[in-house]
Chain A
């Protein structure tokens, strides 16, 4: 009884996850009429017309590159700044360390989305709207608290003796950070990097607010544009979703474990 129930529920759930994915993947190569009449069949003719249109007419390569640039720089600098801060906090548990930790914890309690109005005006005043640099700065600021939180948990788990030995051998704090703390917490850094990458790649709210110039838009923004522009053509929208999700999906296929660790670390490490 239990076994039958378990097997059927698992099958139903897997179907509910996989069917929409199948519809989108095959649909991108189909005609719209085929999507409506035979959503689950393979395309009668595999057509790349939608993709050609996306790259030639809609120039999806530009938002794709914008997303790559914004995500790469945001993740790199967040990791750098957060790991330095997390190292300082977890190693120097003196008053400064505690005050810093408390300050960054405040950022965990306040949802970043409530800052949209002051950030908008600040960035307009600094001419950082319609700029990829602006998006990168926002991303860093918003993800720093949670990254510091996750990374300090990793640093605290490292054996203290290693740091003490290195300290006695005359290594400075930067040296210990670079040659001991960072290499030893590679899994933690990897998981945090994936976590940040997913956030930056997929974010809509801040780009929506800060970016109006076509040439500066990121992928989620143009997906919204296409939803209006190609509202009559789901096959076009599906093709755009495939292009926008491809990097994530490929990375996920090779690193499921790191993804699962990274995208749950934010919850668990707290």
Chain B
């Protein structure tokens, strides 16, 4: 019964993933005969390629910023929206809404909002007298990546709120009642009950958000294409450009191998940290 799934999966997922390893050892423009170069792609990539290092750094910064803010906001708003009252359910629906849109649509909407001459954010800053301070959100190398990170947080925080609400609703009410009797403040209740009890959910949210940041190709492609001068290039956009713009397919495969290793390593690290925290409890 698993045969159809297995055939499709093996031929269009496992086989390509394995052939990626072979491609990574070749110098190949996609047209002429590939030339075997062994580990040269990988060693060059890891030791001499400044652009790759830049994309890697961008990717990690983008990941950190989005994970920290998205998780913090989601947890905060989930504690606000915990009870299943009509207003709360309605607000959860509103906050979740951006998740169903395509990255391309969200990218276009925010390209408009960030537009230096016509965008609503600039208009808003002008209206409150800060117009002269409005930066080039997507044109200034130093902030582009963070502008896109903000968009990503707008895009997916609602999804994480829903995950958190489901997790927090599992916490027994008696714990809070007992804390209340003991006269614990809201902050103490959060620190003593909500945070430790929600750790497994936090693990899920952090892991999922991390994977999403590695998949932000669509959003970045729609907003900046990785520019200006590689300031918003992450690993997947660089792999795409190396292969389909520069026609270096072997080298792009080597880059994607590094991406796999990195994702596996980060996943492993997060699992381990989570387990350590579990043990400390």
A-to-B contact residues, CB < 8 Å: 2, 6, 9-10, 13-14, 16-21, 23-24, 35-36, 39, 80-82, 84-85, 87-89, 100, 103-104, 106-107, 109-122, 137-138, 140-142, 144-145, 148, 173-174, 177, 198, 201-205, 208-209, 219-220, 223-224, 227, 234, 237-238, 241, 244-245, 248-249, 252, 256, 259-260, 263-264, 266-268, 270
Contact = CB atoms under 8 A, between A and B. Distances in A.
Interface string B214-231: 110110011000000000
A115 B20 contact: yes
Interface in B172-203: 186
A85 B101 contact: no
Nearest to B77: A13
A252 B14 contact: no
Contacts of A223: 102, 104-105, 108, 222
Contacts of B260: 110-111, 114
Q: Is the interface of B mostly helix, strand, loop or mixed?
A: helix
Contacts of B102: 201-202, 204, 219-220, 223, 244-245
Interface string B266-278: 0100000000000
B130 to A, nearest CB: 17
Given A23-B120, A117-B20, A209 B244 contact: yes
| Highest count of chain A CB atoms <10 Å: which of B1, B96, B257 | B1
A144 B96 contact: no
B71 interface: no
A173 to B, nearest CB: 7
29 contacts: A6-B80, A10-B77, A10-B81, A13-B77, A13-B95, A17-B94, A17-B97, A23-B109, A113-B239, A115-B16, A117-B239, A117-B249, A117-B256, A121-B249, A144-B13, A174-B1, A198-B99, A204-B104, A204-B222, A205-B217, A208-B240, A220-B102, A223-B108, A237-B108, A237-B112, A238-B109, A245-B101, A245-B105, A270-B204
B166 A263 contact: no
Given A2-B186, A39-B123, A234-B112, A117 B243 contact: yes
Contacts of B138: none
